Structure 1
Amino acid sequence: MDIRDMKHFYAIVEEGNISNAAKRLNIAQPPLSKQMKQLEENLGVQLFERGSRRIRLTEAGQLLRERVEQILGLVDGTMKEITELNSGLAGILSIGTVTTSGATLLPDLINKFHNLYPNVTFQLWEGDGYRILELLDKRIIEIGIIRAPFDSEFYESITLPAEPLVIAMKQDGCHCGEDPENVRLIELVNQPLIIPLRWKAMFVEWCGKAGFKPNIVCISDGVLLNILWAKLGIGMALVPKSVEGLISDSALTYKKIIEPTVSTETVIVWVRNRKLSANSKHFLDLLKDMVVK
């Protein structure tokens, strides 16, 4: 199996079928199908479950996908480093981000970086915090933007100022307390709550100190989905305050949690003891100048 096999296999995985992958690779479909069949024969395993319009990977195929992500990420990273030695800042800067942090932090940052280094292009990946760390580990990205907490033993980081957490709820639904802008933590007793997995343990601990066990109806790291559920009245969603500016909806109201005030932190992370490209180093320097006080 060579790099060409890996790239063609990964194209099929990303596109979901051989036909679309062939178009993307600018080759005919029959040779690509034959190449994958030969790859399976060489490896002695079946990689794809055939018979449906969208290809599904076997267990062996899933394992190969993970390894190919790592290998291609390493190859691309090496090529970028070599290119930078001769031509300065150019190529691709790969960043992964959780939805809310990326939407509020990245636009101005990327715009300024692009003005300084117009030959650099960006590749952005979006997902929950666990997915972003996985992409970092596999060298698919060099910089991740996540929410705390995280394992500082494996990642270096820059922590941004704390951001309050708020409760998003249906405007004409059941409200908590009389204050139109704030809600005391104790006022969430018996309320149906939608909590991100990342904050579940901390939130349960906060509620325990306040003297009650929270009524969690859903655990989900999908901020947009959580807000939709809140809008439908299924529950009240725990989200960062920045969501209020990103998702403004007359059917929703947002209340800051007080007594105690609870907060979250956006963290920029990269793998400890791994050499960063010149692009990433300059991006972090710009970030520190713009955001870190």
Structure 2
Amino acid sequence: MDLRSLNYFLCIIEEGNISKAAKKLHIAQPPLSHQLKLLEDELGVKLIERNTRSLQITEAGKALAERAKQILNLTENTKKEIKDISQGLQGTLSIGTVSSAGAVILPDIIYQFHQKYPDINFEILDEDTSKIIQLLSSGVVEIGIIRTPFDNDMFETINYAEDPMIAIAKNFECEEEPDVITFEYLKEIPLIVQKRYEKKIRHLCKSYGYEPHILCKSNDVRTILMLANIGMGVAIVPKNCLNLIPNSDLEYVIIDEPNFNIGTSILWSKDRYLSNVAQRFIENMQNHMPSII
């Protein structure tokens, strides 16, 4: 059993078809089928049940697939580690970030790091929090930047100070204090919200005895702010997103509700090899970001 046979086996499972797997691997179908049979003969078990319509993975096949992924990931991480040692600090750092947090804090962090390590390149993937967790778990990215709260003990984290949520709109008016409101004062007002906060917002509005009028929901904070800027409704966003759209006419008030402040976390996997580049990036954040707690 070698790495190539494990890679072939995983590809067959992922494609669900030997012909498709052969095409993806750029080999003919008969040799791939033969490699699968050799692997089954070597292990003395049936890994895949074949019929004319589909492939069905056996329990033994499922167990091997899980181990194969771990072996191949470990092999790839070992290659990276040896390359780090031999070549020093260079290469590409992959970062997954939610757009709102990334746009606010990432430019300064990357600029500081680039000034110190100009040979490092960056790959930035903008996704939602759940997708970033998947990307970290699979090793596609080494560093994640997400909004709190999130429930996962698989990661090491650096936590930024929490930021209040605000209601922001064109010509926002409120009869209460000029800079603080509760959801009691947003009844019947069209709201523009981020999808991940919709459930919490609905819960808070219900505590004041009404169903909120959610006009629009989106994952993209810039879209939310632009809709507010043309007068479509009141946007609910973290306060540090205020300047994501320049030259706007937006006005805001802080929303004073229990447990409605939002934090930002930098995270990385506990169980995966962390490249020298990623380690230095984390150290740089810890040394240069005064808002980290």
TM-score where L is the length of structure 2: 0.69
Q: Indicate the residue corresponding to 1:80 in structure 2.
A: 80
Q: Indicate the residue corresponding to 2:54 in structure 1.
A: none
Q: Indicate the residue corresponding to 1:244 in structure 2.
A: 242
Q: Deviations over 1:167-200 (max 9, x none)?
A: 22233xx744365543332101121212222222
**Structure 1: which 5+ residue stretches go unaligned?**
7-34, 45-69
Instruction: Please give the root-mean-square deviation of Cα atoms over the aligned residues, in Å.
Output: 3.6
In structure 1, distance between residues paired with 2:141 and 2:244: 25
| More divergent stretch after superposition (241-250 vs 95-104) | 241-250
In structure 2, distance between residues paired with 1:206 and 1:247: 27
**Which secondary structure state, in structure 1, belongs to the residue aligned with residue 153 of structure 2?**
coil
Q: Indicate the residue corresponding to 1:110 in structure 2.
A: 110
Q: Indicate the residue corresponding to 2:89 in structure 1.
A: 89
Q: Confirm or deny that 1:268 pairs with 2:246.
A: no
Distance 1:221 1:176, change over 3 A: farther
Task: Give the C-alpha shift of residue 270 in structure 1.
Answer: 1.5
Task: Give the C-alpha shift of residue 84 in structure 1.
Answer: 0.8
Q: Indicate the residue corresponding to 2:197 in structure 1.
A: 199
In structure 1, distance between residues paired with 2:154 and 2:84: 26
Q: Indicate the residue corresponding to 1:58 in structure 2.
A: none
Q: Which amino acid aligns with 1:287?
A: M
1:185-224 alignment runs, 5 A limit: 185-224=183-222
Q: Indicate the residue corresponding to 1:156 in structure 2.
A: 156
1:116-135 alignment runs, 5 A limit: 116-135=116-135
Q: Do the aligned partners of 2:143 and 2:266 also contact (CA within 8 Å) in 1?
A: yes
In structure 2, distance between residues paired with 1:239 and 1:110: 24
Q: Do the aligned partners of 1:196 and 1:238 also contact (CA within 8 Å) in 2?
A: yes
Task: Give the C-alpha shift of residue 254 in structure 1.
Answer: 2.3
Q: Which amino acid aligns with 1:205?
A: H
Task: Give the C-alpha shift of residue 265 in structure 1.
Answer: 0.3
**Which secondary structure state, in structure 1, belongs to the residue aligned with residue 203 of structure 2?**
helix
In structure 1, distance between residues paired with 2:159 and 2:136: 17
The share of aligned pairs that are identical, in percent, is 35
In structure 1, distance between residues paired with 2:186 and 2:248: 22
**Structure 2: which 5+ residue stretches go unaligned?**
9-22, 34-69
Task: Give the C-alpha shift of residue 73 in structure 1.
Answer: 8.2
Q: Do the aligned partners of 1:191 and 1:236 also contact (CA within 8 Å) in 2?
A: yes
Q: Do the aligned partners of 1:176 and 1:188 also contact (CA within 8 Å) in 2?
A: no
In structure 1, distance between residues paired with 2:147 and 2:125: 15
Q: Deviations over 1:153-173 (max 9, x none)?
A: 2322111100111122233xx
Q: Deviations over 1:196-219 (max 9, x none)?
A: 222223223333344443222333
Q: Which amino acid aligns with 1:225?
A: T
Q: Do the aligned partners of 1:185 and 1:260 also contact (CA within 8 Å) in 2?
A: no
Task: Give the C-alpha shift of residue 142 in structure 1.
Answer: 0.6
In structure 1, distance between residues paired with 2:245 and 2:255: 18
In structure 2, distance between residues paired with 1:91 and 1:71: 23
In structure 1, distance between residues paired with 2:253 and 2:211: 20
Q: Indicate the residue corresponding to 1:142 in structure 2.
A: 142
1:27-38 alignment runs, 5 A limit: none
Q: Do the aligned partners of 1:98 and 1:145 also contact (CA within 8 Å) in 2?
A: yes
In structure 2, distance between residues paired with 1:36 and 1:90: 31
**Which secondary structure state, in structure 1, belongs to the residue aligned with residue 164 of structure 2?**
strand
Q: Deviations over 1:74-115 (max 9, x none)?
A: 776544322111222221111111122112212222222223
Distance 1:77 1:274, change over 3 A: closer
